[in-house]
């Protein structure tokens, strides 16, 4: 079926691109069924166009047709309102490839906002996901949530109120997250168990933690890395953590700017990182014990290049912070490393313009608040010009789908 459809699509594209249909859906009575039916009966290449207005939805929506564009009249004009949602784990679920989502908002989904799973080459442009009550533990987990996908472009979108991550890219590769606003989430932007990501020119503010690059054990896709975090504004991430305790991001400390955990090859440069009172930049190993023998818990080849940072961790969320602050003259230096590295590898290199400190941990798996923390000044190598990352970011074909 898929092959037939693709063949047909190729055929129609060659013969007459005008054959693609536009399905216009207005807000109002029966919107749930009308919209869902359009998303089911659409053919590859079709556009489903949402009118301006508020769509009151009582169930999740889903799209499983390749090559469909779902677009509205603007992220403030077209609102998919899930406040009265009765079922499903997310507002919109996309499970097909080459989908473009543009110009609409999702409000108050009970689970995640927009999830795309196994949906390769997806574009999210000018979307808004908002939990309108502000940061709350009862808000859904993720705002924009592509997972298990090859080719992801998220741009010009806004997410606020997620009780986990505003923008969360998991178990994916070839990713660009650019020109977005993430605020009042637990984590602003999270790249997890993913490779080849570019996170650039985002405004990440008012979260508990700003930008997280993580690798976690016991997952189908591991070995995260080859990721660049560049030219972002990461400011005032001072919201107390409101994630439910069982969540991995519940361990993110209030005031974390950019955090890299257990990844191979991450470059953090050109960012402006202001008022992140635990640590503007944090590079750590996975802090918990694990059984998965294929998992590497250490940061490797992480480069902290030149970034604009303020005085650093002036109010860190650490046990014994008073002594730490006193030892460092009132604020912790901007770059924090836990001191752990895989033998034979370099965990982190830091631009000489930035000062740092280490927790001085000697073994992985005991958490960060341990009795044997031995804080001290950071003494690591400067960035190595021969260590360069290539091949990151979304494929050009995705960029070509953006509209001005």
Partner 1 sequence: MIRSAVLGLALLSAAAAVAHAAGPVAAPNDAVVTAETFPATLSEYGFFSDAPGQVPANRVTPYRLNTPLWSDGAEKLRFMYLPAGAQAKADGENLLQLPVGAALIKTFAFEDNGKRRLIETRVLLHRASGWVALPYLWNAEQTEAKLALAGARVPVTTPAGEAIEYRVPNKNQCKECHGLNGVVTPIGPKARNLSHDWLQQFASAGMLDAVPAVKSAVPLWEDRDKVSAASAARGYLDVNCAHCHQPGAGASNSGLDLRWQQTDDQALGVMKRPVAAGRGAGELLFDVVPGKPDESILVHRMASTEGGVAMPELGKATVDKDGLKVVKRWIAGL
Nearer to partner 1, 86 or 345 (CB): 86
Nearer to partner 1, 39 or 267 (CB): 39
Q: Closest separation between CB of residue 402 and partner 1, Å?
A: 26
CA distance 241 to 225: 26
Nearer to partner 1, 291 or 379 (CB): 291
Q: Closest separation between CB of residue 57 and partner 1, Å?
A: 12
Asked whether 207 and 242 are in contact (CB, 8 A), the reply is no
Q: Closest separation between CB of residue 65 and partner 1, Å?
A: 9
Q: Give the binding site for partner 1 (CB under 8 A).
A: 1, 4, 32-34, 36-37, 39-41, 58-59, 62-64, 85-89, 93, 95, 109-112, 117-118, 137-142, 145, 147-148, 163-164, 168, 170-171, 216, 218-221, 243-248, 288, 291-292
Nearer to partner 1, 44 or 109 (CB): 109
Instruction: State the chain's maximal CA–CA distance in angstroms.
Output: 73
Nearer to partner 1, 20 or 147 (CB): 147
Nearer to partner 1, 51 or 118 (CB): 118
Q: Closest separation between CB of residue 302 and partner 1, Å?
A: 22
CA distance 206 to 254: 10
Q: What angle do CA 182, 187, 192 make, to 5 degrees?
A: 110
CA distance 317 to 328: 15
Asked whether 142 and 162 are in contact (CB, 8 A), the reply is yes
Nearer to partner 1, 219 or 233 (CB): 219
Nearer to partner 1, 219 or 402 (CB): 219
Nearer to partner 1, 246 or 343 (CB): 246
CA distance 101 to 156: 12
Both tokens assigned to 246: 């069982």
Of residues 135, 124, 367, the one with CA closest to residue 251: 367
Q: Closest separation between CB of residue 28 and partner 1, Å?
A: 15
CA distance 271 to 328: 24
CA distance 52 to 208: 33
Q: Closest separation between CB of residue 98 and partner 1, Å?
A: 14
Asked whether 149 and 174 are in contact (CB, 8 A), the reply is no
Of residues 193, 196, 112, the one with CA closest to residue 152: 196
Alpha helices (H) in 158-215, listed in sequence order:
none
CA distance 126 to 71: 10
Nearer to partner 1, 320 or 365 (CB): 365
Asked whether 258 and 225 are in contact (CB, 8 A), the reply is no
Asked whether 185 and 165 are in contact (CB, 8 A), the reply is yes
Instruction: Output b/e per residue, 254-288; b: 16+ Cβ within 10 A.
Output: bbbbbbbbbbbbbbbebbbbbbbbbbbbbbbbbbe
Asked whether 387 and 348 are in contact (CB, 8 A), the reply is no
């Amino acid at each position: 079926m898929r092959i037939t459809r693709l063949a047909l699509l190729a055929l129609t594209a060659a013969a007459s691109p005008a054959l693609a249909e536009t399905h216009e859906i207005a807000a109002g009575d029966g919107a749930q069924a009308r919209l869902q039916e359009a998303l089911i009966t659409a053919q590859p290449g079709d556009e489903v166009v949402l009118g301006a207005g508020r769509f009151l939805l009582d169930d999740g929506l889903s799209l499983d047709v390749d090559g469909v564009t779902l677009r509205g009249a603007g992220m403030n004009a077209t609102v998919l309102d899930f406040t009265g949602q009765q079922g499903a784990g997310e507002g919109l679920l996309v499970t097909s490839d080459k989908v473009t989502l543009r110009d609409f908002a999702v409000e108050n989904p009970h689970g995640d906002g927009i999830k795309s799973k196994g949906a390769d080459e997806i574009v999210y442009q000018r979307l808004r996901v908002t939990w309108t009550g502000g940061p709350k533990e009862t808000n859904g987990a993720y705002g924009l949530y592509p997972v298990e996908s090859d080719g992801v472009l998220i741009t010009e979108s806004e997410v606020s109120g997620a009780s986990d991550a505003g923008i969360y890219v998991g178990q994916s590769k070839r990713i660009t997250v650019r020109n977005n606003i993430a605020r009042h989430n637990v984590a602003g932007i999270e790249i997890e168990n993913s490779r080849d990501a570019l996170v650039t020119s985002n405004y990440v503010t008012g979260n508990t933690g700003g930008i997280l690059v993580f690798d976690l054990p016991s997952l189908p896709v591991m070995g995260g890395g080859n990721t660049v975090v560049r030219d972002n504004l990461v400011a005032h991430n001072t919201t107390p953590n409101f994630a439910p305790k069982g969540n991995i991001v519940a361990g993110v400390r209030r005031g974390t700017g950019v955090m890299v955990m257990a990844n191979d090859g991450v470059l953090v440069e050109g960012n402006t990182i202001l008022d992140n009172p635990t640590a503007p930049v944090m590079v750590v190993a996975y802090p918990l014990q694990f059984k998965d023998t294929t998992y590497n818990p250490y940061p490797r080849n992480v480069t902290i290049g030149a970034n604009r940072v303020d005085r650093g961790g002036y109010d860190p969320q650490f046990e014994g912070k008073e002594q730490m602050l006193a030892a460092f003259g009132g604020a912790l230096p901007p770059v924090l490393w836990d001191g752990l590295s895989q033998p034979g590898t370099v965990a982190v290199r830091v631009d000489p313009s930035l000062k740092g400190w280490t927790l001085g941990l000697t073994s992985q798996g005991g958490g960060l608040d341990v009795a044997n923390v031995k804080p001290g000044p950071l003494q690591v190598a400067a960035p190595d010009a021969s260590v360069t990352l290539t091949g990151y970011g979304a494929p050009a074909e995705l960029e070509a789908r953006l509209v001005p």
